[in-house]
Amino acid sequence: MTQTNIIQIVQNIVADLKDKPGALLPILHTVQNSLGYVPPESVPTIAKALNLSRAEVHGVISFYHYFRDHAPGKKTVRVCRAESCLAMGGKALESHVKTKLGIDYHETTADGNYSLEAVYCLGNCACSPAIQIDNDVYGRVTAESFNEILTEQSA
Amino acid sequence: MSITVYVPCDSSAVSLGANRVADAIAQEAQKRGVEIHIVRNGSRGMYWLEPMVEVSTDKGRVAYGAVKTGDVASLFDADFLNGGAHALNLGLTEEIPYLKKQQRLTFARVGITDPVSVEDYVAHDGYRGLKNALSYSQADIVKHVTDSGLRGRGGAAFPTGIKWNTVLNTPSEQKYIICNADEGDSGTFSDRMIMEGDPLVLIEGMTIAGIAVGATQGYIYLRIEYPHAYEILNAAIANAYAANYLGENIQGSGKTFHLEVRQGAGAYVCGEETSLMESLEGKRGLVRFKPPLPAISGLFGKPTVVNNVISLASVPVILDKGGEFYRDFGMGRSRGTLPLQLAGNLKHAGLVELAFGATLREILYDFGGGSATGKPIRAVQVGGPLGSYLPESQFDTPLDYEAFSEIWAVLGHGGIVAFDETVDLAQMAKYSMEFCVEESCGKCTPCRIGSTRGYEVMDEIVNKRDLDKNIPLLRSLCDTMLNGSLCAMGGMTPYPVLSALNHFPEDFGIKAA
């Protein structure tokens, strides 16, 4: 996508949402939903519309774990690192996922298919350990079932 | 007449394949030319039985679980649509002991109704609380909530009625109701279950709160990790608007209440109420100094009620049956019921709503069925990542805010995470510090620097280096964090760390004191 296209998309989103009270997070969410990330070149447009400094907008983007400033892989795998999952073998699952994908947290596979992120609780604690791929949550995940899920996702 | 089949849409049930099971049932029915009506209900909270399919029969709802797609054809063969015998037949749902032994007030409808149907909600005693509220004065609504003894279920346990009263008595043209749905505590999922299983009870509770204090705008601040809840909440809100239970002139009363869901962005600290309001205002989620209290100067500087999902979802039953009805459950100063979430290494993990007062042991063994791995339960963390680890010797503590406080523990949001004997509590303490490093908002020094130093010291300790020096250093650091932090993030990280050290010193390479 060209820079002009990105700016155009961001301008449309900003025009739609800028009058909401506390508009910045809704704008950032919509930008990330549309583009997969919040491109650094969108910051001046957002800042200007909300009468904020670019530093303020950048500060908000960098504060929240969820927002990212570069394009992710086609799908994002999130592995829960919280206590309930740790109690059910989450640590071993985490190692397996990293080995299987061949990447660490905040990295993307060479083929651009998967990004890997940590998450602290998916609210699936009665079915630990849990992972999430995009919006889909998986419970009682084992090394074998993770491999199956990946095959399914790649199909 | 077609037969109604229930397959949960709850995201935990879906994480175990509920969507595939629902599709398989629909296809099999079509193949066999049987007319059925599939309702995607919430979960009953018995997760070892999910996906749990229910069928309406003359005798009541019959449950089958845990159902896999491969079981569907044999269920039809066994005439499950009429409650037929099958290896997965669990009998009448209401008679399953795990469910029957509970006291479900807040969760009365979860798993029973179609979550987004206003009609179904009203047919199951929904909106009776609002109806009463509309006939009361504002002060009388607040009085019912005060009389109920309801305390904030998010973890701080502050009396809800007192908070509401402050907002009611603070004059302002604009006031707000915020629902804190940033359920970030590990081991907790009751907020999610309400939002996915009975969102209208939360909507009703917020509407009552708005009418009580004179607020016309509400926000649900929902964590980004709950995309299913986001969809279901928005569908339920749209239906409530369409049925005139939200918006202008609600049910012809002249009262107005608007409601919007806003998504967080993966910051645990935004579950702290002042940080949450900063986030809603579009800023970094930095914790604010208190005072001023949010009830006096909250969102956009206006008087604001900030309540947890479960607190607000408990309001309709209080207004329906009266403050005294609710107060009659519980013990001491902990009144009503607490939805407990059984998680981690338990055989029967799930949702158990009970009056305060049961012991931890009853919950872990009578409901939880002991550990999933069959090994002894060695430690239990209650109240999320900032809650203490409890050893077996404390399992007879009753679930009561004050009783937990006496043993330097917290009930928090009611999450209970069990660990078997393979757990290393020093590693868990190190993890708690690491979590605080990740999630500290960075505003105050004890939390920001303390957690980083704490992680370094714990790293030394788990490697058994200079314990004579490092253990006292850890204690001193925890003392600073406890007493010097601005909010519970840094102020309570010492709970899991020190409780692990005090109750399980052997994991830290030292002898019991």
Q: Do A84 and B186 touch (CB under 8 A)?
A: yes
Name the DSSP letter for residue B46: B
Q: ipTM, 2 decimals?
A: 0.97
Number of neighbours of residue A111 by Cβ within 10 angstroms: 8
CA neighbours closer than 13 Å in the CB half-sphere of residue B451: 27
State the Cα–Cα distance between residues A153 and A131, nearest whole angstrom. 13
CA end-to-end distance (rounded Å), chain B: 70
Determine the distance in angstroms separating the CA of A110 from the nearest CA of chain B, rounded to an integer.
26
CATH of the domain at B461: 1.20.1440.230
Does residue B403 share a domain with residue B433?
Answer: no
Q: Do B267 and A86 touch (CB under 8 A)?
A: no
State the Cα–Cα distance between residues B17 and B11, nearest whole angstrom. 10
The total domain count for chain B is: 4
**pLDDT tens readout for residues B244-301:** 999 999 999 999 999 999 999 999 999 999 999 999 999 999 999 999 999 999 999 9
State the Cα–Cα distance between residues A94 and B176, nearest whole angstrom. 41
Does residue B317 share a domain with residue B400?
Answer: no
State the Cα–Cα distance between residues B376 and B391, nearest whole angstrom. 11
CATH of the domain at B262: 3.40.50.11540
Q: Do B188 and A67 touch (CB under 8 A)?
A: no
Does residue B249 share a domain with residue B157?
Answer: yes
In a domain, B104, yes or no: no
State the Cα–Cα distance between residues B373 and B291, nearest whole angstrom. 48
State the Cα–Cα distance between residues B267 and B463, nearest whole angstrom. 30
B192 contacts in chain A (CB < 8 Å): 123
The DSSP code sequence of B309-355 is HHHHHHHHHHHHH-HHHHHTSEETTEESEEEEEEEES-TT-EEEEEE
Report CA B206 to chain centroid distance, whole Å.
16
State the Cα–Cα distance between residues B224 and B100, nearest whole angstrom. 34
Residue B311 in contact with residue B154, Cβ under 8 Å? Answer: yes
Q: Do A64 and B14 touch (CB under 8 A)?
A: no
Amino acid letter for position B405 = S
Q: Which residue of A has its CA nearest to B265?
A: A66
pLDDT at A127 over 80: yes
Of the residues B299, B327, B355, the one at which a domain ends: B327
Find all residues with CB under 8 Å of B459, minimum gap 6, and list them: B430
Q: Which residue carries 């047919």 as its tokens?
A: B123
What pLDDT is stored for residue A4 in this prediction?
86
- Helix A43-50 vs helix A54-63: crossing angle, to nearest 10: 110
What pLDDT is stored for residue B1 in this prediction?
65
Q: Which among B187, B189, B284 is the nearest to A83, CB-wise?
A: B187
State the Cα–Cα distance between residues A34 and A37, nearest whole angstrom. 8
**pLDDT tens readout for residues A30-79:** 999 999 999 999 999 999 999 999 999 999 999 999 999 999 999 999 99
CB pairs under 8 A between A and B: 152
Q: Do B344 and A125 touch (CB under 8 A)?
A: yes
pTM: 0.97
| Helix residue ranges, H only, B444-492 | 445-462, 467-484, 488-492
Residue B185 in contact with residue B196, Cβ under 8 Å? Answer: no
Does residue B86 share a domain with residue B7?
Answer: yes
Decide if B382 touches A, using CB distance below 8 A. Answer: no
CA neighbours closer than 13 Å in the CB half-sphere of residue B499: 27
User: Of B305, B12, B71, whose CA–CA distance to B167 is shortest?
Assistant: B305
Of the residues B420, B435, B462, the one at which a domain ends: B420
Determine the distance in angstroms separating the CA of B144 from the nearest CA of chain A, rounded to an integer.
32
3-state secondary structure A50-89: HCCCHHHHHHHHHHCCCCCCCCCCCEEEEEECCHHHHCCC
Q: Supply the range of the domain harboring residue B349.
A: 330-420
Residue B419 in contact with residue B447, Cβ under 8 Å? Answer: no
Domains and CATH numbers, chain A: 3-63 (1.10.10), 75-154 (3.40.30.10)
CATH of the domain at B340: 3.10.20.600
User: Of B29, B451, B387, whose CA–CA distance to A83 is shortest?
Assistant: B387
What pLDDT is stored for residue B109 in this prediction?
98
A119 contacts in chain B (CB < 8 Å): 225, 266
In a domain, B236, yes or no: yes
Of the residues B36, B70, B98, the one at which a domain ends: B98
Does residue B204 share a domain with residue B253?
Answer: yes
CA neighbours closer than 13 Å in the CB half-sphere of residue B465: 6
A130 contacts in chain B (CB < 8 Å): 15
User: Of B393, B413, B415, B412, whose CA–CA distance to B404 is shortest?
Assistant: B412
pLDDT along chain B (513 residues), means of 10: 93 98 98 97 98 97 97 98 98 98 98 98 98 98 98 95 98 98 96 98 98 98 97 98 98 98 97 98 97 97 98 98 98 97 98 98 98 98 97 98 98 97 98 97 97 98 97 98 97 98 97 72
**pLDDT tens readout for residues B349-376:** 999 999 999 999 999 999 999 999 999 9
Phi-psi region for residue B111, left (φ > 0), alpha (ψ -120 to 50) or beta? left
What pLDDT is stored for residue B513 in this prediction?
62
Amino acid letter for position A70 = H
Does residue B231 share a domain with residue B290?
Answer: yes
